[in-house]
A = this chain, B = another copy of it.
Amino acid sequence: MKAALIHGGGDVRVEEVPDPVLREPTDALVRVLLSCICGSDLWPYRRPGPRKGGPGRIGHEFLGVVEEVGPEVTTVRPGDVVVAPFVWSDGTCPHCLAGLQTSCLHGGGWGSEHVDAGQGEAVRVPLADGTLVVAPVAQDDERLPALLTLSDVMGTGHHAALAAGVGPGSTVAVIGDGAVGLCGVLAAARLGAERVVLLGRHEDRTAIGRRFGATDVVPERGEAAVERLLGMTDGLGVPHVMECVGMQSAWDTAAAIARPGGTIGYVGVPNGMEDGLPLRRMFSNNVAVRGGVAPVRAYLPELMADVLDGTIDPSPVFDLELPLDRTPEGYAAMDERRAIKVMLRP
C-alpha cells in the first residue's frame, strides 16, 4: 500500500510500504477514508537534516472502515466506520478508566514499530476495542471531515477549554489561531462561554474563529495584546486562558493576561520554551496551569454526538484537501501557512 514517510527536514514522500496484517487477537485493520496533517507533524518536518534512524511513518489522525478484526475484538466489526484517537490505548488500565487514555499503561503512538501511521492507505490498529470509536454513518457521509477533527484537534481544543475551567458564562481568551485554537473557540462556545476572545492575526483564520463563536478578535501581539485584554476586563485579567500554541511568546502572553486566581489551560506542545514558565508571577497571582496532551478518546463519544446532530461542525479548519499522493504539497502549504490544516484522501 501507499503511505507517507518522513525522510528528514522538508522531505516527506509517499512510498510503497508493506500492507498491514493482523498480528494480535486484539487488532483491527482499518482502511483509511480520510487522514490529515497536524501542526505537530511540522516539528520533525522543520528539523533540518535527515531523520535520525532513517525514514519513518508519519500522521496520527485518521478515520476509516474496519476491514478485518482479531478474534478478541468485540466492539467494532468489518464495515464499521471508525474514528481513531491520536494514540491507541487499552481502555482498561487505571489511567484509561480515569479518562486519561493518553497515559495508557499499554498504549502507544501511531507509526511506531509494526503499527502504521495515519497518513497512508491502511492501518493496523492495536487494542482496537480500547482505541476505536464507531461512527454510525456511511462511508460517504458528508460529516466525515467533521468527524475526522475528533481524532485530534477538536478533542484537543475541548481539552484546553476543560483544563481552563470554561463553563457557562465564562470569559475566555484563546491564544493561537491554528486549528487547535479555532477548535478551542468552538469548544468554549459549546461549553457556554459568554465572551470568547481569540488572539490571532491571520484574518482568514480569525474569520473561522468568529464563525466558531469568538465574540472578539485581538490581532495584536505581546504587550499590545496584553493591554487590549486587560482593557476588556476592567484591568483584572482573564479568568480562563487557553494556550494553544506551545511557544514561549504564547506562554508569556498567557501569564500576563491571566486574572489572579485564574487558570491557564494548555494544549500546545511545549516547544522552544527557553525561559520556562514564569513561575514567580504565577505564584504571586495564584494562576493555575492545567492541561497537556489531550485524552481525545475520552471525549470522542460526547463530541461525536454533537457533530452528528449538527450542534458543532469543526470541519472548516480543513481549508485544503489533497489526495494522499500529494501529501508533500500539504506539508509545504502548512509550513508556509498557506493552509490551516490539510485533509488527505487516499
Residues of A within 8 A of B (CB): 94-95, 98-100, 102-103, 163, 234, 236, 260-261, 263, 266, 269-270, 273, 275-277, 279-280, 282-293, 295
Contact = CB atoms under 8 A, between A and B. Distances in A.
B260 A103 contact: yes
Given A98-B261, A103-B285, A236-B95, A290 B290 contact: yes
B292 A286 contact: yes
Total copies of this chain within the assembly: 2
A297 to B, nearest CB: 13
7 contacts: A94-B234, A95-B236, A98-B261, A103-B284, A270-B280, A276-B276, A286-B291
Nearest to A267: B283
A286 B103 contact: yes
Contact of A286 (B234, B284, B293): B293
B291 A289 contact: no
Given A100-B261, A236-B95, A284 B275 contact: no
Contact of A288 (B102, B277, B289): B289
Contact of A261 (B95, B260, B263, B276): B95
Main secondary structure of the interface of A (DSSP, over half): mixed
Contacts of A282: 289, 292
Given A269-B283, A286-B295, A289-B290, 11 more contacts: A94-B234, A94-B236, A100-B260, A103-B261, A266-B283, A282-B289, A284-B293, A287-B292, A288-B289, A288-B290, A289-B289
Contacts of A286: 100, 102-103, 290-293, 295
Contacts of A99: 261
Nearest to A294: B286
**In the A-B complex, the 8 residue pairs with the closest CB atoms:** A276-B276, A103-B260, A286-B292, A288-B290, A283-B292, A100-B261, A289-B289, A277-B277
